[in-house]
Structure 1
Amino acid sequence: MGALNKLSAQGVKSAAAGKHSDGGGLWIFKSDAAKGKWVLRVHVHGRRREMGLGPYPRTSLKEARLEADKWRRVSQQGLDPIKQRQTDIRAAERNMHLLSDVARDAFESRKAELKGDGKAGRWFSPLELHILPKLGKVPVSEIDQRDIRDVLAPIWHEKASTAQKAMDRLSICMRHAAALGLDVDIQATEKAKALLGKQRHKVQNIPALHWRAVPAFYQSLNEGTVTQLALRLLILTAVRSAPLRFLHLDHIEGDVWTIPAEAMKGRKDATSDFRVPLSSEALAVIEQARPFARDGFLFAGVRRGVISDATMAIFMDRRGMVERPHGFRSSFRDWTAEATNTPREVAEICLGHVSGGAVELAYRRTDYLEQRRVLMKRWSDLIKNSNSNVSRMMA
């Protein structure tokens, strides 16, 4: 190997441009009097390898000697130090990926599966609100069941649904990390559930008005505001609030409103649009709302975009009601079951639900538009003509 440590710090500094040996295969290649780079020459499997150890003067003589000594020992074991360093770097990268980075990468890879490419943020928000503030800067390889338990314990029972969503999203992130080749415990979330125990919170259905009380409420919406008109059309069509809030006038042709497939939730045939038959009362509500339209959207917000998800709920809350807008879908479905002889599949498709097995769905191509048109007219006639006590709903 020859003599070691032949150079001095001052000697390196004053050395002219050229190659200067420190012994043991360590060289400094100076490009000029002030700058250079450290190189280690070793022989592995009968061939010479030159390994860069850093630039000079950023890397001092002392630091270069320590690095050279480290990689000499590797070469003495019959290993190529350059390849070994690359392996070590890859391993370090795998172990140092932060959860926040993995979570966002997982979200990006799943956007195509989410409604509206996940722009509403509902998929990511449980992670952003309850997981990432405490674990986002932790390398994903270091996260274990105790970390997860400690983060979710405060909401595990009190906000059971939210906690479960956060746990599910985190599980997806851990599996995503494993697919990237990172060293993670993909069972960590299941172990955390075992530590947290069974959730005590009971799932409660969204409060809904009894269908017999809907006419009185509907008739009380007589001020012609955007919010009240939106509630009227929500009740008349039994759709979810999101498609209604984003209703675009271009989607209405005659007495049919076509909701784009990507705006529908929970449909097995999510590649197809959903047609909603509009009763004469629904068309009248749309005409009343047209003056408020902006950029083609029927229910425009005060400053921009469309009315918020909470607008109609806040209106009902101010009336002292515990019921929520989504509950009118239940009101409608109960009416079809209790007061009509509507076939189940027709009633379900009115709500945008698609029931039945894969074989049945493959052969059933109809959306029962004509039957639904008749049914929605009956619903419309009930809620606009009932003699229910309107004043009771005006509190």
Structure 2
Amino acid sequence: MPAMNRLSARALPSLPPGKHADGAGLWFVKREDGGAQWVLRVTVHGRRREMGLGAYPAVSLADARRKADEARAQVRENLDPIKERERARREASSKLHILSDVAADAFESRKAELKGDGKAGRWFSPLELHILPKLGKVPVSDLDQKDIRDCLAPIWHTKADTARKAMNRLAICMKHAAALGLDVDLQATDKARALLGKQRHEVENIPAMHWQDVPGFYESLSDGTVTHLALRLLILTGVRSLPLRFVHESQLEGEIWTVPREAMKGRKGMTSDFRVPLVPEAMAVIEEARRHSRDGYLFPSIRKGVISDATMSRLMERRGMVERPHGFRSSLRDWLAEATDAPHEVAEACLGHRTDGAVVRAYRRTDFLEQRRVLMGRWAKHVTGQSGVLLKAVGV
């Protein structure tokens, strides 16, 4: 019998790159970059097989030996340990049979595609609020269009946008279940849409303040609180509330705020972070906000983390306003269209919008930073009431 247990746990970190035998087919493979993994060589049905047992140090020497012993035992029973492992994985996946389990697994698999790994919960919340309370314990293989129709009918017309998102998320869950090998009806959501009919309720745009009224509102944000300062910077920069709420000292350098690509909406087609020019008024707001900062975040909440998405909205609600913070992006865009001669692509760039296809963007590398700086400086003058005339962005 070949010698076994040749390696020692203490010696593993100092071994040079290469393959090091522990015995009986177990090998420690050290890479040039310092990483390593365990490999077991066995012969099954006259065919040599190599089976990965995991990466070191996540899998220790003792763990690797235990896994190797289990695999060798399967070989002695004339079983292929690699196929047996795959079969065990399939069986484990098949246990994810009720919708709540499948939905949670689908969410986990998509986290990397979502902003902040989905921590804000917006992707999962339509399912959690409107689907899972009624259908969460139903096996996905039993779900049909009637179940889905009855579940979403109460909100199909009254909360059309929420119902549409819930239906779309459910369709993703059904596809995920099919990928797990479960027997599901992939057309169930489409059939449910047909049963529910066309939605009567049309999605309304977020109410926005007319750009001529913004200076008055901006002036009223004068008490230096986190909420007032956050709204001021939101108005001055034209960014969305998510990157605004999570603005961190590490993102600020000189007169530029670099918003990470993953914090931007529509980031799938973006190849770089988004640079926001900071004009003097914005720099003054940031300097004042630093008095409140915690852990590097400029707009912390009272207890932990940063201010919530609803904090700024509630301030406007308490004042009896129908407008919402996101609407200031529309205010800025209307001002650019009505009060300046800014080219379309530059105006859209002020809001972080993409106006061309991937091929055009691949050749046109500019983000119009300096042109945007001029425009945002003029916007700041309008917002702070320094000029009542319609400004023309000549030369940009």
Are positions 1:210 and 2:183 aligned together?
no
Which amino acid letter does the alignment assign opposite residue 257 of structure 1?
W
- 1: CA distance between counterparts of 2:100 and 2:285? 46
- 2: CA distance between counterparts of 1:178 and 1:204? 35
1:249-276 deviations in whole A, cap 9, x for unaligned?
1211111011111111113543411100
| Residue of structure 2 in register with 1:250 after alignment | 250
1:362-383 deviations in whole A, cap 9, x for unaligned?
1111111010111100000111
Q: CA deviation at 1:226?
A: 1.0
Q: What secondary structure is seen at the aligned counterpart in 2 of 1:292? A: coil
| Residue of structure 1 in register with 2:59 after alignment | none
| Residue of structure 2 in register with 1:125 after alignment | 125
| Residue of structure 1 in register with 2:278 after alignment | 278
Q: What secondary structure is seen at the aligned counterpart in 1 of 2:258? A: strand
The unaligned stretches of length 5 or more in structure 1 are 1-86, 389-395
- 2: CA distance between counterparts of 1:214 and 1:119? 32
CA separation of 1:218/1:177 partners in 2, compared to 1, >3 Å: closer, same or farther? same
Asked if structure 1 preserves the Cα contact closer than 8 Å seen for 2:269 and 2:358, the reply is no
- 2: CA distance between counterparts of 1:218 and 1:364? 36
1:229-254 deviations in whole A, cap 9, x for unaligned?
11111000000011011000121111
- 2: CA distance between counterparts of 1:146 and 1:178? 19
- 2: CA distance between counterparts of 1:180 and 1:312? 42
| Residue of structure 2 in register with 1:239 after alignment | 239
Asked if structure 2 preserves the Cα contact closer than 8 Å seen for 1:267 and 1:352, the reply is no
1:45-75 deviations in whole A, cap 9, x for unaligned?
xxxxxxxxxxxxxxxxxxxxxxxxxxxxxxx
CA separation of 1:166/1:212 partners in 2, compared to 1, >3 Å: closer, same or farther? same
Which amino acid letter does the alignment assign opposite residue 325 of structure 1?
P
| Residue of structure 1 in register with 2:220 after alignment | 220
- 1: CA distance between counterparts of 2:206 and 2:139? 39
Which amino acid letter does the alignment assign opposite residue 278 of structure 2?
L
Are positions 1:301 and 2:311 aligned together?
no
- 1: CA distance between counterparts of 2:303 and 2:102? 36
| Residue of structure 1 in register with 2:361 after alignment | 361
- Identity of counterpart residues, as a percentage? 73
CA separation of 1:385/1:170 partners in 2, compared to 1, >3 Å: closer, same or farther? same
CA separation of 1:224/1:149 partners in 2, compared to 1, >3 Å: closer, same or farther? same
Runs of 4+ displaced beyond 2 Å? 90-96, 267-271, 385-388
| Residue of structure 2 in register with 1:4 after alignment | none
| Residue of structure 2 in register with 1:154 after alignment | 154
- 1: CA distance between counterparts of 2:358 and 2:297? 36
The unaligned stretches of length 5 or more in structure 2 are 1-86, 389-396
Where do 1:171-182 residues align within 5 Å?
Answer: 171-182=171-182
Where do 1:1-395 residues align within 5 Å?
Answer: 94=94, 97-386=97-386
Which amino acid letter does the alignment assign opposite residue 207 of structure 1?
P
Which amino acid letter does the alignment assign opposite residue 177 of structure 1?
A
Q: CA deviation at 1:92?
A: 12
Larger CA Rg, structure 1 vs 2: 1
Asked if structure 2 preserves the Cα contact closer than 8 Å seen for 1:262 and 1:270, the reply is no
Asked if structure 1 preserves the Cα contact closer than 8 Å seen for 2:93 and 2:180, the reply is no
TM-score, with length taken from structure 1: 0.73
Asked if structure 2 preserves the Cα contact closer than 8 Å seen for 1:100 and 1:136, the reply is yes
- 1: CA distance between counterparts of 2:288 and 2:256? 17
Which amino acid letter does the alignment assign opposite residue 151 of structure 1?
C
Q: What secondary structure is seen at the aligned counterpart in 1 of 2:384? A: helix
- 2: CA distance between counterparts of 1:296 and 1:269? 29
- 2: CA distance between counterparts of 1:149 and 1:306? 38
Give the root-mean-square deviation of aligned CA atoms.
1.8
- 2: CA distance between counterparts of 1:141 and 1:287? 57
| Residue of structure 2 in register with 1:46 after alignment | none
TM-score, with length taken from structure 2: 0.73
- 2: CA distance between counterparts of 1:115 and 1:250? 18
- 1: CA distance between counterparts of 2:208 and 2:268? 26
Q: What secondary structure is seen at the aligned counterpart in 1 of 2:267? A: coil
- 2: CA distance between counterparts of 1:268 and 1:185? 29
Q: CA deviation at 1:221?
A: 1.1
Asked if structure 1 preserves the Cα contact closer than 8 Å seen for 2:294 and 2:300, the reply is yes
Which amino acid letter does the alignment assign opposite residue 365 of structure 2?
R
Q: How many residues align?
A: 300
Q: CA deviation at 1:93?
A: 8.2
